Amino acid sequence: MASGRLTLTADEVSFFTAAADTLIPGDDLSPSASACGVIDFIDSELAGAWGQGARLYRNGPILKGKPEHGYQLGLTPREFFRTGIAAAERWTQSTYGKNFAGLDDPDAALSAMETGKASFDGFEAREFFEALLSIVMEGFFADPIHGGNRDMAGWKMVGYPGQPANYRDVIEQHRGKRYDVAPRSITDIGK
């Protein structure tokens, strides 16, 4: 594991950081994904009950499902990302001669994964990309109590005021109008 990490190794942190910052780069609207704590969020999620497969049916038989069937593997989310990152790194090495974090154009590699043009050995590149995109977005927009969305940057970027419990009394009077207030997280309830 990387120093101070719950479950991610240093190589996995490098991969997630490069991928997340490619998907959500820092710009005029917000800091990069990693600067917003997305890697901390991912580490926490994969180390917790969800990452360990709590509430997932993983007993056989596990048959190849259609995309609309959702997740159809016997792996926990933690195992899925560990296996997917290893497959992505092998493909990146064979295709570009570098690890993913060292790529000059990581957009091209992510695009190949997204479209299924990347051929991972024994693993679906497109399914991995979709899970990667999903967990990065979750980390960028989740309540900051979960480790990501540091300083509520994701919420500020889209104008989300935060937890509904904080503004439920004014929803009707602002319906269809911009509600321009500083966002508040779960930790702000009752303050």
pLDDT digit string (tens) for 15-35? Answer: 999 999 999 999 999 999 999
Q: What is the pTM of this model?
A: 0.88
Lowest mean pLDDT among 32-41, 46-55, 101-110, 143-152: 46-55
Is residue 57 domain-shared with residue 126, that is, in the same domain?
yes
Structural domain includes residue 111: yes
Q: What are the CA-CA distances from residue 52 to residues 150, 151, 153 (Å)?
A: 25, 28, 28
Q: What are the CA-CA distances from residue 14 to residues 2, 30, 100 (Å)?
A: 10, 21, 8
Structural domain includes residue 15: yes
Count of alpha carbons within 13 angstroms of residue 115, beta-carbon side: 7
Q: What was the pLDDT predicted at 191?
A: 66
Is residue 130 domain-shared with residue 181, that is, in the same domain?
no
Is residue 75 domain-shared with residue 169, that is, in the same domain?
no
β-bridge partners, 184:
162
pLDDT, tens digit, 9 for 90 and up, residues 111-142: 999 999 999 988 889 999 999 999 999 999 99
Is residue 167 domain-shared with residue 148, that is, in the same domain?
no
Is residue 102 domain-shared with residue 42, that is, in the same domain?
yes
Count of domains forming the chain: 2
Is residue 45 domain-shared with residue 14, that is, in the same domain?
yes
